[in-house]
A and B are shown apart, each in its own frame.
Chain A
Amino acid sequence: MNINQSIDRNRSSFRRKMTQDVEMKEQQAPAAPSNSTSSTTSVLQHLKEIAALIETGAYAREVRRILRAVRLTIALRKKLKASVISSFLGFALAPGSETHQRLSSYLPKDDQNDMEVDTASSATQATVKHSPELEIYCYLLVLIFLIDQKKYSEAKACSSASIARLKNLNRRTVDVLASRLYFFYSLSYELTGELSEIRGNLLALHRVATLRHDELGQETLLNLLLRNYLHYNLYDQAEKLRSKAPRFEAHSNQQFCRYLFYLGKIRTIQLEYTDAKESLLQAARKAPVAALGFRVQCNKWAVIVRLLLGEIPERTVFMQKGMEKALRPYFELTNAVRIGDLELFKTVAEKFSTTFSSDRTNNLIVRLRHNVIRTGLRNISISYSRISLADVAKKLRLDSPNPVADAESIVSKAIRDGAIDATLDHANGWMVSKETGDIYSTNEPQQAFNSRIAFCLNMHNEAVRALRFPPNSHKEKESAEKRRERQQQEQELAKHIAEEDDDDF
C-alpha cells in the first residue's frame, strides 16, 4: 500500500502529460502476427491488473488509484486489439449483461484462434466483483479503441450510451473516468463534424457536475464547451460562458493549459492583447514537451499577439526543436513587420494565405497591416531629425491616391497614440522628431524589474503549492531498505516519464 501511495504522490507531482488535441497522431494497430498471442496475453494481463486496481480503488474510495489505472491504460493504448478487448469484457462484466452485449456489438468479430485462448484463460480466473467503476472503465476502453480505429460513428453511439449510463452514478471515484469519457464524447462528435449537436448536452452535464461539486468534471466540461464555441467562431458566447462559470484551483495541469489557450484566443479577438499574451505564453510554458501540436498552436498565436502589441519576438522562439517548419510562415511575417515594409508584408500574407486560413488567424494578419506602418514610421522617426511628408509616404510605400495627406493623418494619429515622439509642421509639410531622452532616468527600468520579480515569485509560490508529501512520512522512520527501494522506484519513474511520449491526457 505504502509503495503504491508514494509512487502516486511522486507521479502526480511531476505529472506532465497531454493530448495533442490539435494534431492527433495516427495510432496503428500492432502488426506482427507471430507474437500476437503472447503479446495479447500480456496486454490482457495488464488489463486485468488495471481492473483489480480499479476495484480496490473503488472499494477504498481512493481516487488516486483510479487515476493511476487510467494512466496505465493510456500507456497500453497502442497495443489494444479487438480480441483483447472482447476477452477483457468477458472477464470484467457479467457475460449476459446488457452492457456487455452492447459493448461487444461495437467491436468487430475476431477469429477463432484468439477466442480459444481467451476462453481457456477466463475459465481459470476467480470471479471479480463488478462495480460501476469497472463498467464505466469498459466503456472508456472500447471508446478509446474505436477512436483509434477511426470508427467514428460507432464511437459516437458508444459515447452517447456511456453518457446516459453516467447520469445515474454519483460517486467521486467515477469522476475521473467520467471526465475522460466526456472528452472522448466531444472528440468523437468533433471528428464527425457535428459538434453543435452536443452543445446542449455538454451544458446540462456541466450543470450536473457543478451541483455534485465534481471539480475535475467541471473543468473538463468547461474546456470542452469553450472548444465547441471556438470551433464555430462564437467568441461572444464563449466569453459570456467563461466569465460566468465558477473558477477554482486547477486540478489537472492539462486542463489548465487548455483553458489558458482558449482564454488567450478569446482575448486576442477582443483586442485585449496584453492579457492574451500572458495567457498564451503561460499555456505554452506549462504544456509538457510531448504535446508538440498544442505548443505549436500556442506559439503561433503568441507570435501574432506580440506583433500586434508592437514587440518583435526574438529568433529563438522560431528555432525551437520540432517547430521550425510549422512556424516558418510566422517567421517570415515577423521579418516583414520588423522591417516595416508594406509590400513585403503583402507578399508574405498572400504566399502563406492557406496556412493562415487553416489556422484561422487570417483576420488577425489583416490587423497587422497597421502595425507594419507603425514600425516603419518609428524607424523613420528615429533615423531622421526632420523629413518631409512626401518622403515619408514614399518610404512607407502607401499605395493610395493621395499619399501625402494620408501620411500626414497617419503620423498625427501615431503621435497621439504615443508610438513616435515628433511634431508636424503643416505649412512646410515636414515632420520634426524630438530627442529621445535618457530612458534610465525614468521609471521604466523599475517597472520592468517589478514585472520580472513578480513573475519569479509567482512561479516559486506555485511550485511550493504543487509539492505533495506522503501523509504518514513524518510518523514512521524510514528504514534503510525502504529508502533504497523508494529511491529505486523514483529513478524508474523518472526514466519512464522521460521516455514516454505521445500520451493521452
Chain B
Amino acid sequence: MTSVALYLQRRIGFLERRKQHRRESDEDMDPKLTEITQLFQRFKAALVRNDFDTSSRLLSQLKILLIEFKSLPPLFAETPNAIQEFTLARDIYEHAVVLSVKTEDQDAFERDFFQLKPYYTDVGDRLPQSPQEYPILGLNLLRLLVQIRIAEFHTELELLSAIALENPCIKHAVELEQSFMEGAYNRVLTARQTVPHETYVYFIDLLARTVRDEIAGCSEKAYDSLRVEDACQMLLLSSDQQLSEYIKEEHPEWEVKNGLVVFHKAKESAPCKEIPSLQLINQTLSYARELERIV
C-alpha cells in the first residue's frame, strides 16, 4: 500500500514539475521565483507526509529566500511579477500556519499568522481570494479564545466584514465565544463534533481543558457539595481515579468524603467586618484639601 502511495506521489510530483516547466518555458520567469517554487513543492510534500523536521528546515530556507523579493511587505515595490510573488508568499505562510498547528506550537502560529495578515488586508484586493483565508481566520479567533484574550478576540472580530461573518468557520468561533461567555459550557464541549475543518481539532482540545478549569471554578462557588459521579460528568473526567488526580493537582482544598466532593467555600467575613481604614483616611483627607481650596 505504501509503495503504491509513494509511487503515486512521485508520479504526481513529476507531472506537476513538467507542467510547471512547460509554463515556465513559455514566459520568461525569474530564476529566483523558480527556485523558490520548487522548494515550496518539496515543503508541501513534507508537510503532507507529516515529516515535521524536514518541513521546518525547508520553511526557514523559504523564509530567507522570500526576503529577496522586493515587492513583498514591507517594501511593496512594484515589480512585474508582483502578483505571482504575492500569491506564492501567501501560500507559503498559509502552509506555515498549518505546520505550526500540527506541531502544536502556539508562538509559531502567532508569528506566522501576523506575517500572513498583510496579505489578506493590504494586498487582498489585488489577489484572488485564497480558499484557506476563512479557516485560518477562524483558527486565529479560536486561538485567542483558548488563551482567554477576549479583548483581542473582539478587536479582530471588528476587522471582519459582514460577508466574512457569515462564513461557517468564523461563525463557529463566534458562537463558541458567546457560549463561553454565557457559561453554557456543555455547548462548548459538544462543539467538538461540529468542527468545520480538521485543523481545528487541536484548539478544541485545548479549549476543553480551559473549560474544565472554568467549570471547576464555578462549581466550587455554586455548590456546597457534589456527588462524585456528578462531578466526574460535569468535569468530563472518565473515572474517579482521574477525578482524584485532578483534585490533587488543581484544587487541593476540596475534600472527598463519603462519595461526595465537598467544596469549602470561603466563609463569609466575620460579623465585625474590618473597616477599610486606609481608604477612608485617604478620602477624608482629599475632601479636606479640596474644601480648603474653595475661596
Contacts and interface: CB of A to CB of B under 8 A. Distances in A.
Nearest to B284: A450
Contacts of A424: 222-223
A412 B158 contact: no
Interface stretch (B9-17, B34-42, B88-96, B178-186): B178-186
A345 B222 CA distance: 28
Given A233-B158, A271-B151, A416 B178 contact: no
A446 B280 CA distance: 9
Q: Do most interface residues of chain B lie in helix, strand or loop, or is the interface mixed?
A: helix
Q: Contact residue range for chain B?
A: 35 or more
- Which of B150, B290, B294 has most chain A Cβ within 10 Å? B290
B155 A426 contact: no
Interface residues of A, number: 42
A406 B154 contact: no
Contacts of B56: none
Given A412-B222, A453-B287, A234 B159 contact: yes
Contacts of B178: 366, 369-370
Interface in A120-140: none
Interface in B195-230: 214-215, 217-219, 221-224, 226-227, 230
Contacts of A406: 184, 186-187
Interface in B272-295: 276, 280, 283, 286-287, 290, 293-294
Contacts of B276: 443
A272 B226 CA distance: 35
Contact of A414 (B155, B183, B224): B183
Contacts of B293: 461
Nearest to A449: B283
Interface in A150-201: none
B157 interface: yes
Nearest to B153: A271
B158 A370 contact: no
Interface string B215-256: 101110111101100100000000000000000000000000
Interface string B154-173: 11011100100000000000
A400 B230 CA distance: 21
A492 interface: no
Interface of B: 150-152, 154-155, 157-159, 162, 174, 178, 181-187, 214-215, 217-219, 221-224, 226-227, 230, 276, 280, 283, 286-287, 290, 293-294
10 contacts: A270-B155, A367-B154, A367-B181, A400-B184, A405-B186, A409-B184, A411-B183, A416-B222, A426-B223, A457-B290
Interface of A: 233-236, 269-272, 357, 363, 366-367, 369-370, 373, 398, 400, 402, 405-406, 409-416, 422-427, 443, 446, 450, 453-454, 457, 460-461
